[in-house]
Amino acid sequence: MTTVQEVLVSGASVAGTAAAYWLGQQGYSVTVVERHPGLRPGGQAIDVRGPALTVLERMGLLEAAEEMKTGIRGASVVDRDGNELSRDTESTPTGGPIDNPNIELLRDDLLELLYGATQDATEYLFDDSIAALDDDGSAVGVTFERADARSFDLVVGADGLHSNVRGLVFGTEEQFLKRLGTHAAIFTVPNFLELDYWQKWHYGDSTMAGVYSARNNTEARAALAFMDTELQIDYRDTAAQFAELERRMIEDGWVRAQLLHYMKSAPDFYFDEMSQIVMDHWSKGRVTLVGDAAYCCSPLSGQGTSVALLGAYILAGELTRAGADYQRGLANYYAEFSGYVERNQWLATDNIPGGDPIPEEDFERVVHSLTLEEY
């Protein structure tokens, strides 16, 4: 039985960079391939909670992450003319309760931290992707779109909801995709509302729009969302996404017209349907999945980032604990973590917009229902 030594990680995501860090710490030689020319910019404010904070602490990144907190002080709900209907200085739609040990920071800020922690010991292949995989049992032959073909002992798919690796090895996305019926866009805009560490939200009859300040009020993030259980738009078809958002948003007032204008020139526009990935195994031969590629919880859970950090940590730890028996390590990764994933996916399915919010005590019970091993 061959000991795993050379590992390829597909995707310089939160899960991918975290996996690269922990696999490197365990002595593996790690290469990361990323389709984007560099780290993908943008993304929403994300949260690191519960045991995922322990993972950051063990990486030596907790203090730096604390310094990058959004510092949001609260949120307002406004009417279609911008008049304030209510305000909350105890909780926000993006981060939950303000007075707690959790860390809310921008996705790309966390990604920069993780990348910096791995850069010296990890080979990064940007602007490239996996074209084909050939697992012959003793190694995985990898054909890249640009780089020369190479062989690895293990391939880790950390390439998101629409994972290329998952498609190549496990089959079509549809068999694993659980649609939640909410479609959302997130993108950077100027802080044109002059928000001071604050959020504003407007809820129309069938749409939602929000703006919150970012990077010490020098910019802002905009969010647009609507519910439609029947609609399906190709996640790669930006023109169709623009058209659908304009059609649904333009009549609902507030600052939607400005947001639709900024949307078309945003450098980091992202749109997708809120979905989950549900699989009864995350590994096949010498290929495994981590993060959204394996068990996307969706942003509606509030736990996608934390689950990605935890999954990367447990994957590397179980592989190391299993030694040469990598199959046992991959099986134990699923056995140790799948229950926690299921509980966190429940947070999303019971948190559909328009329904009753999950009680905070139930949310915290799920978040803290994992005890981390020391690997």
Token pair in block for residue 184: 């959302």
Label residue 44 by pLDDT band (50, 70, 90): confident
Q: What is the mean pLDDT of residues 102-106?
A: 94
* 126, burial (CB in 10 Å: exposed 0-12, middle 13-18, buried 19+): middle
pLDDT at 350: 65
pLDDT at 82 over 80: yes
Domain residue ranges in the chain: 6-69+104-176+276-367, 180-274
Each residue's pLDDT tens digit, 185-203: 999 999 999 999 999 999 9
Secondary structure of 199-245 in HEC code, one letter for each residue? EEEEECCCEEEEEEEECCCCEEEEEEEEECCCCCCCCCCHHHHHHHH
192, two tokens: 């044109």
Helix axes 14-25, 304-322, angle to 10 degrees: 30
Average pLDDT, the chain: 94
CA-CA-CA-CA torsion for 292, 35, 327, 312, nearest 10 degrees?
A: -50
Whether the pLDDT of residue 362 is over 60: the answer is yes
Domain 180-274 classification at class level? alpha beta
Residue 1 has what pLDDT?
A: 47
Give the residue with greater pLDDT, 205 vs 146.
146
Q: What is the pLDDT of residues 118-152, one digit of tens each?
A: 999 999 999 999 999 999 999 999 999 999 999 99
Please report the pLDDT score of residue 354 as a whole number.
Answer: 52
What is the dotted CATH code of the domain comprising 6-69+104-176+276-367? Answer: 3.50.50.60
